[in-house]
A = this chain, B = another copy of it.
Amino acid sequence: MPNNTVDVTQMPLSIEWKNAELYLLDQTLLPHETVIEKQNTVEDVWQAIKQLKVRGAPAIGIAAAYGLTVAVKNDTGLEPNDFKALVKEKAAYLDSARSTAVNLSWAMRRMVSHMEGLTSGSSAELYDVLVKEAKKIHQEDRELCAGMGKMGAPLIKDGMGIMTHCNAGALATSILGTATAPMYVGHDNGIEFKVYSNETRPLLQGARLTSWELKKAGIDVTLLTDNMAAHMMATGHIDMVIVGTDRVAANGDVANKIGTLGVAILAKYYGIPFYVACPSSTVDMETATGDDIPIEERSGDEVTVIMGKRIAAQDTQTRCPAFDVTPNELVTGIITESEIIRAPLGQGLIKFFEGKKND
């Protein structure tokens, strides 16, 4: 059966840690150029997150965790208390690069609280502990992606058309992706299906990244402009939607890349299942509903200039919300690393996390 096999060693890596140095693939240059940049300073990492060189909620968390070690690698000569204070300051700084993804602040909190747990040790030892914890976050993400792939793959049947939005792919994580993990695993299992990738304006992650990485893996992928989604659903091409998310609220409302809400409403209108794939760390039980999720407003230049080409007159007034919130009633299920949580999502999420505590 699997003449389809995805060779994971050939998949693009958004983040690499080699010889105690952090390397990030500059995703803003894809698919035309593959440039891997060594991150020399914490400012490099902050800019890489801000400018979306590294993007996707899980990848941002991993990059920031390593980035925190980059921030303090030359400061192990400090007194341990001063070193700890510096780590906390740099964690707050990295956390300020973007606002919507929960993984960024989650990773910073985890790194800091892990360090705080150590009451003895030199600054050099604290640094080693931080590196170890960042590697652990990275490795855990690989396992989470594999888990989502395993959970979600059985949803994909031969002949299906699957729509996705933005890039919740390998590039957005350590490997395999979130929304794409079921696709990679399904493809590996020999299932034949088509993927329809919405280009995802303004920054075209669907055109530049998702189409590129799925095609590289041998998956049948068709690129659409965002506004073709309704027509493709109306004409029977789409059987399921799978997207990623930057934050799930406790009631199951889902923040994801701008445009996701529209796709969810269209899917509802046409009776098409709409799934969200994410590691359970993307669920923020401290955020009651989608109304409490801050939506990052980005520069209007992202709307009026595409890859250096101005597409509207100078001084054109714009809006540029980077995300939207899909209300829980539009979500068929959340594909996590260990189960698919189904509606009603609020109750499902409480039960899921109670189950985790009892593990």
Q: What is A's interface to B at a CB cutoff of 8 Å?
A: 31-32, 165, 198-202, 204, 207-208, 211-212, 215, 220-232, 234, 258-259, 261-262, 265-266, 268-269, 303-304, 306-313, 315-319, 321, 324-325
Residue with the highest number of chain B CB atoms closer than 10 Å, among A308, A312, A318: A312
Provide a sorted-by-A list of 23 A–B residue pairs whose CB atoms are within 8 angstroms.
A31-B313, A32-B310, A165-B227, A201-B226, A207-B304, A207-B311, A207-B316, A208-B311, A215-B313, A223-B304, A224-B318, A225-B258, A225-B303, A226-B226, A227-B227, A229-B262, A231-B262, A232-B319, A234-B324, A234-B325, A306-B306, A306-B307, A307-B309
A208 to B310, CA, bound (A): 10
Q: Do B222 and A318 touch across chains, with their CB atoms under 8 A apart?
A: yes
Residues of B within 8 A of A321 (CB): 228, 231
Q: Chain copies in the assembly?
A: 2
Q: Shortest beta-carbon distance, A173 to chain B, in Å?
A: 20
Residues of B within 8 A of A269 (CB): 265, 268-269
A223 to B320, CA, bound (A): 9
Residues of B within 8 A of A313 (CB): 31-32, 211-212, 215
Q: Which 8 A-B pairs have the closest CB atoms?
A: A227-B259, A230-B262, A201-B225, A231-B324, A226-B227, A31-B313, A230-B261, A207-B312
